[in-house]
Structure 1
Amino acid sequence: MLKTRLIPCLLMKNGLLVRSEQFSLHQIVGNPVHQVERFNTWAVDELVYLDITRQGEYDMRRDDHKIKDKKTLLEIIEEVSRTCFVPLTFGGGIRTIEDIRTRIAYGADKVAINTQAAAFPEFINEAARIFGSQAIVVSIDVRCHAAGAWEVFVHGGRQPTGLDVIEWAKEAERRGAGEVFLNSIDRDGKGCGYDLPLIEAVSRETTIPVIICGGVGRFEHLVDGVHAGASAVSAANIFHFTEHSTQHAKKVLAKAGVNVRLSAQFRTNSTSRRPGVSRSSTSKPNESRRPASESRCM
């Protein structure tokens, strides 16, 4: 029996990690490289980085820091991949096959494609043919309308497409996607739980793994997502607030009878995906922060 994966989703804007609420309110929470060092010791199964930068600048410093540390996106991917001991997915701003090629060359195991896939569905076919389905995740940002229908949104959740989410997920699978990543815009940052009917519907109509994100305010919400049919559960904000949060999440999942990997076995002298580049096993835990309170989603 396959184990359910726990996958922190890290949102990166202008080179810094941010917490998000409904894809619009963003608060800086840390450095993308330091955060992966923490997760290396916290029993995560994979990591997803989503770059939501619009300006094209990657400045890995806070406003209250005096020293500038500007980097390109590829440099950030390279630094993260040197430290990351679990499968790594990078998404955001992918428009061409060359974008995929460079991200993989710099250390990503998979890429998440969203806007380009919705605009040009054949992009999924081409990407899967060149890199293999296992490397292609189709990310789907979802809004639920009053009538109960789910619509695909693109460009960071700002632009509606008219696409039905279930039909789009089925098409993504037919075209070669290895996984779909469902992200609820309405529930993002609200802490009120996943959109369970959405998860049930997409999981029922597809055969590839479904990763879910958006709405987790307590670890029991992860259990609800698994029971609704998700192959992997993901969250963003909740993992920034508590020390060893992913280990606590795994314990809650296991106690509920979910088949998860409880202990992480990492190689301290591992080599990177690119020859000649070593990875560090250094861990820099951040201080605990208070999680967002659970609130209404709609």
Structure 2
Amino acid sequence: MLRPRIIPSLLVHDNGLVKTVNFKNAKYVGDPINAVKIFNEKEVDELAVFDIDATVLNKEPDYALIEKLANQSRMPLCYGGGVKTVEQAQRIFGLGIEKIALSSAVINKPELIMEIADRVGSQSVIVVLDVKKKLLGGYEVYTHNGKKSSGINPFKFIEEAEKLGAGEIIINSIDQDGVMKGYDMNLIDKVREKISLPMTVLGGAGSLDDIGKVINKHGIIGVGAGSLFVFKGVYKAVLINYPNRSEKDELIHKNHIG
């Protein structure tokens, strides 16, 4: 039976694990490999790792780090950061990654979705859209860690991405990132209306109840979180955490029938 997925989202900057607020002020929170080991023990559904330096600095993906992550991970692993070509994607899959997240590269060249999907299969090609509210209403896609406005309407782009062969969409709210006050439910609703693809949402989780609200409304969906799974308590002490199996089952069954 298909179930909702609860997914820790890890950001890598200068080879360290960091957490941001509104895509700014990256705070060091530990070693990414160590975090993967801990999440292994906690039996997470899936793990997403994003290198937030690669695109901004126009660097190749860090294959050495990717190989270490893949070797350590005992859960499905999604990697994003700096992937611009089919050859890079194939090399990363060869290292043991299950899913590749594409963002800036496909905003500039949407057909890359189809090129990679044709080579490795749609199920492994994930399109990530970092989305921000516009001053006069609506939403817009941003790239380069939220620094560059693309002028692109996310709802039109996800329809194109689906036609080109994307296997999943990740929608990340820049406005909610690291704020821990809940997801942008309006944004999630609008995306869900447009596509039938699997989707994962990011940005805003401050509690398991926030995750539960998304599952309650949308059922089988990926619900990602960063701060929630690396911080603990009012003072945000760094502590890798994740709901245990009974907590997760209770959360899913309480909020999702089927």
Please give the TM-score of this superposition, normalised by the length of structure 1.
0.78
Partner of 1:253: 251
For each residue in 1:52-73, what CA deviation from the matched residue of structure 2 results, as whole angstroms up to 9, or x when unmatched? 0145799xxxxxxxxxxxxx82
Give SS of 1:245's match: coil
Partner of 1:121: 110
Asked if 1:240 is matched to 2:230, the reply is yes
Partner of 1:48: 48
1:222, CA displacement in angstroms? 0.5
Q: 1:154 to 1:233 in 2, by over 3 A?
A: same
Asked if 1:17 is matched to 2:7, the reply is no
**Residues 22 and 177 of structure 2 are in contact (CA less than 8 Å); yes or no, is this contact kept in structure 1?**
yes
Partner of 2:235: none
Asked if 1:76 is matched to 2:74, the reply is no
Of 149, 161, 172 in structure 2, the residue corresponding to residue 183 of structure 1 is 172
Q: 1:88 to 1:125 in 2, by over 3 A?
A: same
1:254, CA displacement in angstroms? 3.0
**Residues 143 and 149 of structure 2 are in contact (CA less than 8 Å); yes or no, is this contact kept in structure 1?**
yes
Take 1:77 and 1:259, find their aligned partners in 2: how far apart are those partners?
A: 37
**Residues 15 and 73 of structure 1 are in contact (CA less than 8 Å); yes or no, is this contact kept in structure 2?**
no
Take 2:252 and 2:71, find their aligned partners in 1: how far apart are those partners?
A: 30
For each residue in 1:203-256, what CA deviation from the matched residue of structure 2 results, as whole angstroms up to 9, or x when unmatched? 111010110000111111101222342611000111112467322562562352
For each residue in 1:139-179, what CA deviation from the matched residue of structure 2 results, as whole angstroms up to 9, or x when unmatched? 00000123330111112211111111111111111110000
Q: 1:57 to 1:174 in 2, by over 3 A?
A: closer
Take 2:201 and 2:105, find their aligned partners in 1: how far apart are those partners?
A: 20
Take 2:250 and 2:178, find their aligned partners in 1: how far apart are those partners?
A: 21
Give SS of 2:68's match: helix
Instruction: State the identity as a percent.
Output: 32
Take 2:210 and 2:43, find their aligned partners in 1: how far apart are those partners?
A: 18
Q: 1:57 to 1:142 in 2, by over 3 A?
A: closer
Take 1:51 and 1:250, find their aligned partners in 2: how far apart are those partners?
A: 28
Of 109, 115, 139 in structure 1, the residue corresponding to residue 128 of structure 2 is 139
**Residues 37 and 83 of structure 1 are in contact (CA less than 8 Å); yes or no, is this contact kept in structure 2?**
yes
Q: Greater strand percent: which structure?
A: 2
Take 1:146 and 1:224, find their aligned partners in 2: how far apart are those partners?
A: 26
Please give the TM-score of this superposition, normalised by the length of structure 2.
0.89
Choose between structure 1 and 2 for higher RCO, CA contacts under 8 A separated by at least 6 residues.
1
CA RMSD of aligned residues (A): 2.1
Q: Greater helix percent: which structure?
A: 2
Give SS of 1:107's match: coil
Partner of 2:151: 162
More divergent stretch after superposition (142-151 vs 223-232)? 223-232
Partner of 2:186: 197
Take 1:157 and 1:252, find their aligned partners in 2: how far apart are those partners?
A: 35
Take 1:103 and 1:221, find their aligned partners in 2: how far apart are those partners?
A: 33
**Paired amino acid for 1:174:** K
Take 1:78 and 1:159, find their aligned partners in 2: how far apart are those partners?
A: 30
**Paired amino acid for 2:228:** I
1:50, CA displacement in angstroms? 0.3
Take 2:151 and 2:250, find their aligned partners in 1: how far apart are those partners?
A: 38
**Residues 122 and 167 of structure 2 are in contact (CA less than 8 Å); yes or no, is this contact kept in structure 1?**
yes
Q: 1:39 to 1:253 in 2, by over 3 A?
A: same
Asked if 1:98 is matched to 2:94, the reply is no
Give SS of 2:242's match: helix
Take 2:59 and 2:110, find their aligned partners in 1: how far apart are those partners?
A: 28
Partner of 2:236: none
